[in-house]
Chain A
Amino acid sequence: MAEEQVLAARTRRKLSPTLIIGAILVAAVVLAALVSFIWTPYNPVQAVPADRLQGSSAAHLMGTDRYGRDVFSGILYGARITLLVGLVAVGIALLIGTPLGILAGMRRGITEEVTMRGADILLAFPALLVAIMFGAVFGASTLTAMLAIGIGSIPGFARVARSGTLQVMSTEYIMAARASSQSSWRIARRHVMPNIIGMVVVQCSVSFAIAVLAEAALSFLGLGTPPPVPSWGRMLQESQQFLGTYPMLAVWPGSAIAVAVLGFTLLGDGLRDRFDPKLNGER
């Protein structure tokens, strides 16, 4: 009965436009990725020299590139890579960085010093550098790009989680919890995590956006997804020399990246507000 009331309260709440727009944009990217598994207008890697560098037409919705590959098919297929890289990279950073940050914030002392200085050192290596290193050692692939971006994003999560934890730990409700002999694990789970989730969600959406851009950059540099698999970043790179003559070649993958980044950012903001009971209008 109590549960029903809660659910009723949840559904009564109006969805914020931020959340709706973000969800629509993300859904579009996800849909594109899913569709690419069963159908693309053309084989995205199939070069058809006869059809090269065509503009938009009924046959080729977004035209073709310099090898005659269908851009629309490439965009659909590229969504897979983008989502995969984003999710895996953010997942790595979230699952490693957040617990480390919480630990540092709760334990203080030597634990905090070691964790945070470790994070600082990691931060001193740009994700790109790590990716180049990984690429040199393991060979350029989507996997190494994902790993590199994920590892590079760990310090961000650790810092956000730690600063949030410090804030929470200084409150009186933590004192009250400690005065009731709650174990550290329980305090972390019941008090710290729910109270920093908003910050972490925002960090997720920001990191996701950064990961998408980083993947594009890595592919652009030839360190990400190797050709011929289409990725938005590499499509952008390949369009570079045609910017003056066929600008639409850059516009399509560029817009796709923009949509994905914007979508995840908005979704993150919307989710953060939604998770916050204080922003729940009813009193």
Chain B
Amino acid sequence: MDTSHNAAGLIEVKNLSITTKTRTLVSNFNLRMHPGDRVGLIGESGSGKSMTASALMGLLPEGVSAQGSIHFAGHEGNLVDASDKQWQKIRGKDMTMVFQEPLTALNPLMKVGPQVAEIMTSHKSVPSKSAARTRAVEMLASVKLPDPQRAARAYPHQLSGGQRQRAMLAMALANKPGLLLCDEPTTALDVTVQRQVLDLILESVTELGTGLLFITHDLSVVANVCDRVLVMNNGQVVEEGSTEEVFTNPQHPYTRGLLAASDLNATDEQGRLFTVASAAAYVPPTTNELEPQAAAQPVPVPEQLTAGEPRFPLPSEAEPVISVEDLHRSYPVARSTLFGKPSEVHALRGVSFEVAAGQRFGVVGESGSGKSTLLRILAGLDQPTSGSVKVAGNQISGAKERDLIQLRQQLQIVFQDPMGSLDPRMRVSDIIAEPLLAPGQKMDSAKQRKLVAEMLGAVGLPQDAADRFPHQFSGGQRQRISIARALICEPRVLVADEPVSALDVSVRAQVLNLLSDLVDDYQLTLVFVSHDLGVVRHLCDNVVVMNNGQIVESGSTGQIYDNPQHDYTRTLVSSSMSLRSELSLR
């Protein structure tokens, strides 16, 4: 009784489990899609969502095997046991995939046009090579690459991230597949580009009637793109249903926790973000509330901050902790030809701002906006080309290493990458104690141990963490270690460089709450650099928006988000997605 070959079905997965010799990665996965269905597969890292996608494409890594059944329209038999030869006929033709990292997914030594054409010639879906070339340009035009002729002649590195992802999509759609798998296709992209690429994916699959299986950790993206959602946790689907149903009335506690932690617009009675632990009190968005535009959303700015409405620039009652004036930074670019003129990249062009003591100052910008350069200069890790930077009374521009010691006692950084920012060869206790070893500091080991223990307590890590190595911790825990290191020498200013962008949603909320608490407890001035407008909105009271090395707009958080003046800010705000706004737009 083979009912799987239902005429209307596109793909039917039954009882799929994925195992290694020692572990079960995914168990009992079921999925049924019809042509044109758009299904979201949500899960955090390690949930098995990418493994599932690999299994559906027959691309499981060595040593990992799948059991169960996969039936795909137009192909005989159970694809779990399909041979490589069989898969080659399916992959790239009837079932295609768009990957997360567009730079590594494209062959760097091959021009984009031929890469798209190759997909068609290898599946013989076009009569000739020249037809394939023409069709490739058409495909590139259909994914709205600005100049498809030129794009076809370009190498992948000559395209921007968004353009590469469009090219990937052109490849994926070239043979009009029945099913398109997207594995976090927009995670590596900037906010404004993400919105465009998502719109494009949505438009293309609707037009071609392609089924879409969209794998992501980002709930707002799913709310934007998908009709149906599967929520995965620890290799199992814990909840399944229509997007509205799952997001407004989650049944499983994990889904509820994930929703609560993702929703940066909702806070508990203490003004803190919900975490998986406190999710019970979380009220999911209701369809009722969603009907009128989401504009009516209450802005969750903590009261003491709304009261003052600090204007920018601040009236200088007190000396600002950070004052930056007409800051420029340009980098020479190595000559590409022997007689060519050496050119320069202007990372910062005329940036000025002030941060008052106790402020939570957000710096928002996309990649290439100069926010990281700004941060490095603030920390004295880089020197400006011109302009003046004063942090806690220390002039940075032109200062010698020796003069910066004072500064670094006052300003510490939390970095983005939770793995890369901790030396893998050092024990956590040594990592946290590192700032204490600055020249001129006298510190006996007993006192050092005591301070480390204190910091571990402050960031909510167990005391035995001190003797372990960074790799023994999860991403969130590593970020806590990073925060402990930054705060051990009691700085006045804490600079956070995208500290949560590499973390899972449920962990993100915890780290943001921790950061927020510590800023209060230690009376810190916080400079928070991020591309994520939602996070900045929750955490900061003042924001500057950077684009192309300049500050295009600055003001209080409420002002910027609710009434952006500059065009770029408007685009940025309208492109950034929040769970509630996406649901309300459905």
Interface set of A (CB-CB < 8 Å, partner B): 2, 5-6, 171-173, 175-183, 186, 190-191, 194-195, 277-278, 280, 282-283
Contact = CB atoms under 8 A, between A and B. Distances in A.
Contacts of A178: 381
Contacts of A181: 401, 404-405, 408-409, 435, 438-439
A182 B381 CA distance: 12
B420 A277 contact: no
A172 B416 contact: yes
Nearest to A196: B425
B101 interface: no
A23 B496 CA distance: 47
A109 to B, nearest CB: 13
Contact of B421 (A6, A172, A190, A282): A172
A179 B408 contact: yes
B434 interface: yes
Interface stretch (B178-186, B321-329, B467-475): B467-475
B413 interface: yes
Contacts of A278: 424, 469, 471
A280 B416 contact: no
Interface of B: 376, 379-381, 401, 404-405, 408-409, 411-413, 415-417, 420-426, 430-431, 434-435, 437-439, 466-467, 469, 471-472, 482, 485, 489
B55 to A, nearest CB: 26
A72 to B, nearest CB: 45
Contacts of B439: 181, 183
Contacts, number: 81
Contact of B413 (A6, A175, A186, A194): A175
B381 to A, nearest CB: 6
B410 to A, nearest CB: 11
A183 B408 CA distance: 13
Given A277-B471, A278-B471, A179 B423 contact: no
Contacts of B417: 172
A71 B567 CA distance: 87
B426 A190 contact: yes
B391 to A, nearest CB: 12
Given A181-B405, A194-B426, 17 more contacts: A6-B467, A171-B421, A172-B415, A173-B423, A175-B379, A175-B381, A176-B485, A179-B411, A179-B412, A180-B412, A180-B437, A180-B485, A181-B404, A194-B425, A195-B423, A277-B424, A280-B469
28 contacts: A5-B467, A171-B420, A172-B415, A172-B420, A173-B421, A175-B376, A175-B379, A175-B421, A176-B415, A177-B423, A179-B408, A179-B411, A179-B412, A180-B412, A180-B435, A180-B438, A181-B408, A181-B435, A181-B439, A183-B439, A190-B423, A190-B426, A190-B430, A194-B425, A278-B469, A278-B471, A282-B472, A283-B472
B257 to A, nearest CB: 23
A172 B431 CA distance: 13
B379 A179 contact: yes
A183 B424 CA distance: 20
B415 A175 contact: yes
Contacts of A283: 472
Contacts of A190: 423, 426, 430
B430 to A, nearest CB: 8
Contacts of B435: 180-181
B424 A2 contact: no
Given A194-B426, A278-B471, A179 B380 contact: yes
A2 B422 CA distance: 21
B467 A2 contact: yes
Contacts of A177: 423, 434
B421 A180 contact: no
Question: Of residues A172, A176, A277, A280, which shows the largest number of chain B Cβ atoms within 10 Å of its Cβ?
Answer: A176
Contacts of B482: 176
Contacts of B415: 172, 175-176
Contacts of B426: 190-191, 194
Contacts of B409: 181
